A and B are shown apart, each in its own frame.
Chain A
């Protein structure tokens, strides 16, 4: 994965004005059409074996997240254990993709998932507001990497983005990407704060030009989080980006996805928009906490034919 802008679009990041010209030259988003498309794809009926496949795929795509001020090492260890064996009474259940924690909990999480396929992701760069000097953000990232994080979830400076300082945002992402080294970088746009679909499309391209490995909708800390429409928009962006540059970028909707039904709707969006190449936890993730329990209850229902209940999954 290169850290510089891909060749085909290398020149657009040369200066603030070329970058602005490029981002504002992206076609405007047809908001009504986008929402109608997302809604119509949400009506697909996924049943029986397809549902079982979708549930297992969704479980394997979960970034099991705890981002609370009250996180304790014990809670993080419990989360790690759950990520490795989501359903202890059914070992055929796949492990989740990663656990996602604050930087100071990375070492604890790393120890909890040691020896498994589960990765440790850490939010960094003054999450969730991103209001800190660049040097502090970079130190935040380096600490997380030093503690063993496999993935970094950074937030962009929404203030700078909304003020039109695109190059500043770009340079910040490039600097963080450099600090990440081999770790994969997820760039959070906080779509709920970007106001318009046009801005989400611009932010997506900006993030990808700056070398993001994943683009992620939101922090889960504001009122509007991942919606089918904004995720569809970002999936279109990664599809078009790969068509132009040959570089594949992942997508991670986060926040507000709580039910199996919702998760399957997102998987339909992925398949119909970006395509099968993205139906893998290397390229698509769910940032979620309560979603996993619902997926497990649905999985138990499919396996036994009986409706399950919250007594049969962990209380997180």
Chain B
């Protein structure tokens, strides 16, 4: 046995591109599937949620205004960084979900592939759900998908990494910014993902990660007047109902929890379109030319 003291990692929140502790100063014990202590994670309060929303709102303008191509490049870069830290995630996922090394490795690889999949969609979704509409008149009529704004995402409780990325990536791929509430029991992969995001090219505030009691953090987020949408993937039926009621007050878009048996199945585009709004504009071709021609 070596007489070296191992250095334990202090897991922290990720808000506005920085790694703060919880405003409340609280932490809670995170254990593996068998109940063995793994680490202490921050136990976020409603004020951490408030700060995260401010950060996400601040980041929204630049992120939604970036070109779709640029967002795709940035997200692809995240996948590159994930690849480089694969062994760490395999370790964390194996601990969190009680999987063997090989099954955990398969999960992590599926997660990275999922990220790449969504990175590819950034500049293609507009062709699929938007486009030119036929009209009878001297106009163009164009529909384009626009991001909804700040989206609160309650990550799935069971699938700590693949499930997490499957709900976060579609939100930010389309130009929204996210406040993510990590799985309550297994938050460590989410907090490590934040470190990956911080070292890739994702601007600070685009993704904010909070760990703690899902109900405690989600309640103020659902009622928050400056949150535009909420994904209830990580809420149980009772909590989901409460949150949906709170969210109705400012007409938030709500994505109800949907049972997912297998997160590794091809997800389709539903999670992206759930947080897109269609903007339709009439654009006169105009009869401005001296000859009477539009051009």
Point out residues on A near B: beta carbons under 8 Å: 300, 305-312
Whether A306 lies near B57 (C-beta < 8 A) is no
In the bound complex, residues from chain A placing their C-beta under 8 Å from that of B227 are 309
In the bound complex, residues from chain A placing their C-beta under 8 Å from that of B50 are 307
In the bound complex, residues from chain A placing their C-beta under 8 Å from that of B223 are 305-307
Smallest CB–CB gap between B207 and chain A, Å?
19
Whether A307 lies near B224 (C-beta < 8 A) is yes
Is B82 part of the contact surface with A, judged by Cβ < 8 Å?
A: no
Is B220 part of the contact surface with A, judged by Cβ < 8 Å?
A: yes
Q: What 0/1 pattern do residues 221 to 240 of B give for CB contact below 8 A with A? A: 00111110000000000000
In the bound complex, residues from chain B placing their C-beta under 8 Å from that of A311 are 225-226
Smallest CB–CB gap between A299 and chain B, Å?
13
In the bound complex, residues from chain B placing their C-beta under 8 Å from that of A300 are 225
Extra inter-chain contacts (18) besides given A307-B220, A309-B57, CB under 8 Å: A305-B223, A306-B223, A306-B249, A307-B50, A307-B53, A307-B223, A307-B224, A307-B225, A307-B226, A308-B225, A308-B226, A309-B224, A309-B225, A309-B227, A310-B57, A311-B225, A311-B226, A312-B225
6 A–B pairs (Cβ distance < 8 Å), ordered by A: A306-B220, A306-B225, A307-B223, A307-B224, A307-B225, A309-B224
In the bound complex, residues from chain A placing their C-beta under 8 Å from that of B224 are 306-307, 309
In the bound complex, residues from chain A placing their C-beta under 8 Å from that of B220 are 306-307
Q: With a 10 A CB-CB cut-off, give which of B50, B225, B227, B249 has the most chain A CB atoms.
A: B225
Please measure, in the bound complex, the distance between the C-alpha atom of A308 and the C-alpha atom of B226, giving whole angstroms: 6
Q: With a 10 A CB-CB cut-off, give which of A305, A306, A308, A312 has the most chain B CB atoms.
A: A306
Query: Which chain B residue shows the least CB distance to A312?
Result: B225
Query: Which chain B residue shows the least CB distance to A300?
Result: B225
In the bound complex, residues from chain A placing their C-beta under 8 Å from that of B57 are 309-310
Smallest CB–CB gap between B277 and chain A, Å?
15
Smallest CB–CB gap between A216 and chain B, Å?
30
Q: With a 10 A CB-CB cut-off, give which of B57, B220, B226, B227 has the most chain A CB atoms.
A: B226
Please measure, in the bound complex, the distance between the C-alpha atom of A120 and the C-alpha atom of B223, giving whole angstroms: 38
Please measure, in the bound complex, the distance between the C-alpha atom of A306 and the C-alpha atom of B220, giving whole angstroms: 7
In the bound complex, residues from chain A placing their C-beta under 8 Å from that of B225 are 300, 306-309, 311-312
In the bound complex, residues from chain A placing their C-beta under 8 Å from that of B53 are 307, 309
Query: Which chain B residue shows the least CB distance to A307?
Result: B224
In the bound complex, residues from chain B placing their C-beta under 8 Å from that of A308 are 225-226
In the bound complex, residues from chain B placing their C-beta under 8 Å from that of A305 are 223
Smallest CB–CB gap between A294 and chain B, Å?
11
Smallest CB–CB gap between B58 and chain A, Å?
10
Query: Which chain A residue shows the least CB distance to B221?
Result: A307
Query: Which chain A residue shows the least CB distance to B223?
Result: A306
Please measure, in the bound complex, the distance between the C-alpha atom of A312 and the C-alpha atom of B57, giving whole angstroms: 14
Please measure, in the bound complex, the distance between the C-alpha atom of A310 and the C-alpha atom of B228, giving whole angstroms: 12
In the bound complex, residues from chain B placing their C-beta under 8 Å from that of A306 are 220, 223-225, 249
Interface residues of B in 246-260 (CB under 8 A from A): 249
Please measure, in the bound complex, the distance between the C-alpha atom of A311 and the C-alpha atom of B149, giving whole angstroms: 12
Q: What 0/1 pattern do residues 207 to 229 of B give for CB contact below 8 A with A? A: 00000000000001001111100
Query: Which chain A residue shows the least CB distance to B50?
Result: A307
Smallest CB–CB gap between A151 and chain B, Å?
34
Please measure, in the bound complex, the distance between the C-alpha atom of A307 and the C-alpha atom of B50, giving whole angstroms: 7
Smallest CB–CB gap between B216 and chain A, Å?
14
Interface residues of B in 44-71 (CB under 8 A from A): 50, 53, 57
Smallest CB–CB gap between B13 and chain A, Å?
18
Smallest CB–CB gap between B59 and chain A, Å?
14
Please measure, in the bound complex, the distance between the C-alpha atom of A300 and the C-alpha atom of B226, giving whole angstroms: 13
Please measure, in the bound complex, the distance between the C-alpha atom of A305 and the C-alpha atom of B223, giving whole angstroms: 9
Smallest CB–CB gap between B147 and chain A, Å?
16
Smallest CB–CB gap between B10 and chain A, Å?
25
Please measure, in the bound complex, the distance between the C-alpha atom of A300 and the C-alpha atom of B220, giving whole angstroms: 14
Query: Which chain A residue shows the least CB distance to B222?
Result: A306
In the bound complex, residues from chain B placing their C-beta under 8 Å from that of A307 are 50, 53, 220, 223-226
Query: Which chain B residue shows the least CB distance to A308?
Result: B225
Please measure, in the bound complex, the distance between the C-alpha atom of A305 and the C-alpha atom of B249, giving whole angstroms: 12
Smallest CB–CB gap between B290 and chain A, Å?
37
Please measure, in the bound complex, the distance between the C-alpha atom of A300 and the C-alpha atom of B225, giving whole angstroms: 10
Please measure, in the bound complex, the distance between the C-alpha atom of A312 and the C-alpha atom of B226, giving whole angstroms: 9
Please measure, in the bound complex, the distance between the C-alpha atom of A23 and the C-alpha atom of B153, giving whole angstroms: 61
In the bound complex, residues from chain A placing their C-beta under 8 Å from that of B226 are 307-311
Smallest CB–CB gap between A279 and chain B, Å?
27
Please measure, in the bound complex, the distance between the C-alpha atom of A178 and the C-alpha atom of B225, giving whole angstroms: 50
Query: Which chain A residue shows the least CB distance to B150?
Result: A309
Please measure, in the bound complex, the distance between the C-alpha atom of A225 and the C-alpha atom of B216, giving whole angstroms: 39
Q: With a 10 A CB-CB cut-off, give which of A300, A306, A307, A312 has the most chain B CB atoms.
A: A307
Smallest CB–CB gap between A16 and chain B, Å?
52
Please measure, in the bound complex, the distance between the C-alpha atom of A308 and the C-alpha atom of B53, giving whole angstroms: 11
Smallest CB–CB gap between B283 and chain A, Å?
27
Please measure, in the bound complex, the distance between the C-alpha atom of A144 and the C-alpha atom of B224, giving whole angstroms: 44
Smallest CB–CB gap between B109 and chain A, Å?
39
Query: Which chain B residue shows the least CB distance to A306?
Result: B223
Please measure, in the bound complex, the distance between the C-alpha atom of A307 and the C-alpha atom of B220, giving whole angstroms: 7
Smallest CB–CB gap between A285 and chain B, Å?
27
Please measure, in the bound complex, the distance between the C-alpha atom of A23 and the C-alpha atom of B223, giving whole angstroms: 56
Smallest CB–CB gap between B284 and chain A, Å?
29
Closest 6 A-B residue pairs measured CB to CB?
Answer: A309-B226, A306-B223, A307-B224, A309-B225, A308-B225, A307-B50
Q: What 0/1 pattern do residues 68 to 103 of B give for CB contact below 8 A with A? A: 000000000000000000000000000000000000
Smallest CB–CB gap between B291 and chain A, Å?
41
Smallest CB–CB gap between A290 and chain B, Å?
14
In the bound complex, residues from chain B placing their C-beta under 8 Å from that of A310 are 57, 226
